[in-house]
Structure formats: C-alpha cells, structure tokens
Amino acid sequence: MTILKTTLNTATTDFAENDAHYRRRIDELHALRRTQRIGGPEKVRARHTEKGKMLPRERVERLIDPGTPFLELGELAGLGKYNDVPPGAGIITGIGMVSGRHCMIIANDATIKGGTYFGMTTKKHVRAQRIAWNNRLPVITLVDSGGAFLPDQENIFPDEGQFGSIFHNQVGMSGDGIPQIAIVMGPCTAGGAYIPSLCDEVVIVRGQGFMYLGGPELTFAATGEKVDAETLGGGKMHSSVSGVTDHLAENDAHALALTREIVLHLGEPPLPRKTPATPKPPAYPIEEIYGIVSRDAKVPTDNREVVARLLDGSEFHEFKPLYGDTLMTGWGRIHGHEVGVLANNGVLFVESALKAAHFINLCVQRDIPLLFLADVNGFMVGREAEQAGIAKAGAKMITAMSSARVPKFTVITGGSYGAGYLAMLGRPFQPDAMFIWPSGRAAIMGPEQAASVLAQVRSQINDREGTSWTAEEEEAFKAPIRKEYETFQDPYNFASNLWADSVIEPGETRETLALLLDIASRRPKVDTNFGVFRF
Ligand code: COA
C-alpha cells in the first residue's frame, strides 16, 4: 500500500498563523458545546435534582457501559433559535454502548421548558430515529417531557418530519424488528406519553414518572373530574392496573439498571459482515490539519495532505491518480475499517466526475462504504466544459452517488458550493451521517459571487429602465447580500438547522467515523439499483 508523502513545512509563519486561527475556531466550538452540556437554568436544574432526579446527561452516562464513548449527534441543533434555550433544543441524542450493544439514546432535558418539543426538537428526534433505523440500532428513549411546546405549533404539529413522524417512525421501525425501550422518568403528557406507549418495553419510576394524555388540570377542565397525578398516570397504577408500563423502578438509577437488563434480552447482537484490519494511527499528526487549512478562505487546501492525516498509516491505494486529478479517489482504512474516499482537490471537471462515477460503482460492487471529503467550488463552467458534456458527466456522478446503497458519509472540510456541495453527497442525498468541520462552509455560491450575480441582475434591470447606479450604491446593494451569505454558510448555521449532524473538529473525525463504520458493518447489505447513466 502506498503511504502518502507529505511536503508540509510546519516551520513557516503561514503554518503557525493558520494553526492559531484554527485553534481559535475550535475553542469557539468547545465553548458552544459547554453551553449545551449545562442544560437549563441553574434554579431549574436545582429543582430537578432536589426531587431526586438525575440530570439528563448523568442519566445517559449511567445508562452506557462505563468507559465507553457516547457519540452525540445534533448537539448544536437549535443554536440561537429560541429565547433562553441553550443549543441542543432540549433533547440529547447519540449513540452509546449499552450492555455491550450499540443503541441510539434519546433523552429529554426537563430542565429546558419542561422537556417540551420545539420544531427543532422534533427534527432532532426524527433524525436520531432515521440513523437508528438505517443501522438497525435499538432505541432507548429517556422520556421526561411535557409534549409539544405549544407556541411553536406550526413547526411541530401539521407536517411530515414533525412530532407525528416520531410515532410513524416508531411503528415503522417496530415493523422492521428494531427494538424500542422507553424509561418514563418524569411527567409525560400528550405526545410525551405516546412515545413510551409505542415502545416494546416501558420502565417507569415510582412517584416520579407519570403518563397521561391529559394531566390532572386538563382532565378537570375537560371533564370536571378531580383526580391526582398518581391515580391518573402514576408508575404503580400503570404497572399494576392499566398495563401501560412493564417495569416499575424505585428511582432513576434503578430504572437505568433495569433498562440495561432489558437490552441483554433483545436477542443476539448483529455480528460485523467485515473483518477490520488492525488499526494504526496516520503517519503524520492529525493536528497538522489546523496549519494546513488556510486562515484565508480564498486559499485552497491541499487535500492530499488532509487525507494523509485521516487514514490509518496514511496508506492510500489511489484509483486513477493521473486522471481527473481535481478529485482524489482511493481506498484506505479508518481504525481498521475499509473505506472508499472521494476528496476534492479543485473544481470538478468532466474527467473528475466520470472518475467519481466509476469509483463509486467499484465500491458498491465490493460493498465498501464511501467517505466524501467535501471542499469544492462546484463543477467547471464555460464553453469547453459544456461542449465536453459536463452536464452529462456530472449527472453520472450524481446518479452513482445517489444510487449507492453502501453506507456513505460526508465530512464538509472546506467551502462546498452549489452543485459541488450536492454531488459530494450533500444532505439531500441522505448520507448516513454528515459532519462539518469548523473550516467547513456551504451555500449555493460564495458570498462575493452571490452579491455579484444579484448586482448584475440589478444592473440589467437598470439598463432596461434607462437608469444607472453609482459605485457606492452598488456596494450598498451588495454588502447585505454578502453578509447574509456569510451567515448562511457558517458551519454553526448548518448545525443549528440540523443540516449537518454535528460540527466536529478534525481531531475527532477518525474516532467518529470509526464508530459509525463499525455500526454500519453490522447492518445487512442492501443491493444497489443504479439509475440510468447517460453516455
Ligand atoms: N408549551 C410551552 N411551554 C411549556 C409547556 C408547553 N406544553 N409546558 C411547560 N412549559 C414551560 C413553562 O411555561 C415554563 O416556562 P418558563 O421556564 O419560561 O417559566 C417551563 O416550561 C417549565 O415549566 P414548569 O411547569 O415550571 O416545570 P415543571 O417541571 O414543574 O413541569 C410539565 C413540567 C411539563 C410537567 C408542566 O409544565 C406541564 O404539565 N406542562 C403542560 C404539558 C401539556 O399539557 N402539554 C400538552 C402538549 S400537547
């Protein structure tokens, strides 16, 4: 296997300045993560723990096997969207090992608006279900939720992808044999009560967990019946009278221990279909990526140097190295798991698009997962490219990428724009997971280009109407467009809207992908039916 060579000089001022700049962005990421990890206001957290309840993060930690990682997903979802609500949208989602088996864990944070669901909370819950479903992971939901956050009705109630889809997915997943367990750890009203009701097995905490479609107040308002919470939906009642719940726990710790036991009896865990090689670290320090990626977004990254720092032993069996070299394609390993890598090194030309289609076809044939490292301005434009059939070649790449049913992952490492973003396994093509680095950006086009295109359109209208504008007027027109695009393309905007599953730093990329590749290697192979390739 070829070991990728490096030509990097780490002793330059440029490297040092890039490195310092990237590290500041990573500090920013960690600061945002910290705000999310704290949860709701201190007063509310104190009230929560005074009731003898564990905070949601502690619950997750107690649920997973000691010393094993928890791959959190969507941790910055909802960032800056709701007043007084920290990023994360009041719910924790991620993959953790429970009793030796990887599970999707979904935990409401009752310290944030009573654990109620905003639009983004439902989107995050649905996304976690989708990842679990694709990978056939059991789902454990730690329910402590008042149901819908009523003022956000339009983003919760009427449409597909909103609250109702949580139930729809539960039923579909159940039909596909995916185990679902709920622990009722607080008062769960309305939607919060349906989630456990649609699970295979339900644990409830005595004197603390309640489940009802309408609480005591609503019941009184609706029917005039006066009834206390325990009689209406307490753990003892549901476990001994209604049969809605299956296991009665004495407290959070007991409920979590019972759940770990339930997981032991879910049947045989799936075995990997592949044998990973012995993992080895890359030949060059991964942290050097911070100095490789320029602090100036206009300076392109030598992604060969990036690939060399992501693969085991920096070993890369490159495919067609001399053809279509603005896209690197080849095979390598991440923590022993084989992966087919597509990494940009410039604009996509006809040759690079054809090479991508060929390479994806080979990976599908060989049942090898795909990893797209996206950093691309788009496809080549102009007479020469059009006459060479760039539209047809791009369509082949998109057909191959979109059809491929092997596990496929995207990491946006740099600026990914327009059709380039889409062709490099953009979100609409349903990657199994998509991450974005702090240096990642994505939009229809770059801020300057968008401002120029719209200014040109305006100029043409001016010409038609016989008017004109001064250079200052043109700049005043362009500045807000540039700003809007800058904000849009920011990785945290992608994370806030859950267009990416998480912002991760380069140093976390190998471990993140290794866990997902391991899980994906345990799901059944799905056959690919390629769409029509236009020749
Ligand atoms: N929609 C919007 N906001 C809600 C809410 C809902 N369904 N339920 C609670 N909140 C808000 C409260 O206004 C409060 O906001 P604040 O922090 O700005 O003061 C915050 O969430 C915490 O509520 P609080 O009642 O103080 O917390 P609690 O821990 O004592 O009780 C609940 C939590 C969820 C049990 C309780 O608030 C409740 O029963 N809510 C109504 C649930 C309901 O009927 N849902 C129907 C959905 S279809």
Q: What is the pLDDT of residue 347?
A: 97
- Secondary structure letter of residue 429 according to DSSP: G
Best residue for ligand 1 mutational test, from 43, 49, 113 (most atoms within 8 Å of Cβ): 113
CB 189 near ligand 1, within 6 Å? yes
How many angstroms separate the alpha carbon of residue 82 from the centre of ligand 1?
15
**Whether pTM exceeds 0.85:** yes
- Ligand 1 atom closest to Cα of 110? 29
Vertex 377: Cα angle to 481 and 417 (nearest 5): 55
End-to-end CA distance of the chain, in Å?
A: 33
What does the DSSP assignment read for 302-353?
-HHHHHHTTSGGGB-EEESTTSSTTEEEEEEEETTEEEEEEEE-S-B-HHHH
Q: What are the tens digits of pLDDT across the range 224-242?
A: 999 999 999 999 999 999 9
Give the distance (Å) from ligand 1 centre to CA of residue 146: 6
Which residue's CA lies nearest to atom 34 of ligand 1? 146
420-448 average pLDDT score: 97
Looking from the CA of residue 145, the nearest atom of ligand 1 is 34
435, 500 Cβ separation under 8 angstroms: yes
Percent of the chain scoring above 90 in pLDDT: 98
Q: Can you tell me which residue has the tokens 């009722």?
A: 184
Q: Ligand 1 pocket, 113 CB below 6 A?
A: yes
Tell me which residue has tokens 């087919």.
340
For residue 480 the two structure tokens come to 């807000």
- Of 86, 84, 104, the C-alpha closest to 94 is 104
pLDDT tens digit sequence for 92-125:
999 999 999 999 999 999 999 999 999 999 999 9
Are the C-beta atoms of residues 143 and 106 closer than 8 Å to each other? no
Per-residue tokens: 464 = 């038609």
* pLDDT above 90 (res 191): no
What does the chain come to in residues? 535
The pLDDT-based confidence of 190 (bands split at 50, 70, 90) is confident
- State the chain's mean pLDDT as an integer: 97
Q: Are strands 91-98 and 101-108 parallel, antiparallel or unpaired?
A: antiparallel
Each residue of 129-165: pLDDT tens digit? 999 999 999 999 999 998 999 999 999 999 999 999 9
pLDDT in the model for residue 42: 97
Q: List all residues 6 or more positions away from 464 whose beta carbon is below 8 Å from its beta carbon.
A: none
Does ligand 1 come within 6 angstroms of the Cβ of 187?
Answer: yes
Interval 350-355 mean pLDDT: 98
How many other C-beta atoms lie within 10 A of the C-beta of residue 518? 17
CA 308–ligand 1 middle distance (angstroms) = 51
Q: Is 209's C-beta closer than 6 angstroms to any atom of ligand 1?
A: no
> What's the CA-to-centroid distance between 441 and ligand 1, angstroms?
37
Domains and CATH numbers, the chain: 25-264 (3.90.226.10), 286-444+488-520 (3.90.226.10)
Residue of 121, 155, 189, 217 to test ligand 1 pocket, by largest number of atoms within 8 Å of CB: 189
Q: Measure Cα distances from 486 to 94, 270, 316, 420, 442 in Å.
A: 29, 44, 35, 18, 10
Over residues 249-266, the pLDDT tens digits come to: 999 999 999 999 999 999
Mutate to test the pocket of ligand 1, among 116, 150, 218 (most ligand atoms within 8 A of CB): 116
The predicted-structure confidence for 8-34, as pLDDT tens digits, reads as follows: 999 999 999 999 999 999 999 999 999
Confidence of residue 354 (pLDDT cuts 50, 70, 90): very high
Q: Which of 83-87, 218-222, 373-377 has the highest mean pLDDT?
A: 373-377
pLDDT of residue 1: 77
Match 């920290």 to its residue by tokens: 86
Among 265, 264, 241, 261, smallest CA distance to 249 is for: 261
pLDDT tens digits for range 295-346: 999 999 999 999 999 999 999 999 999 999 999 999 999 999 999 999 999 9
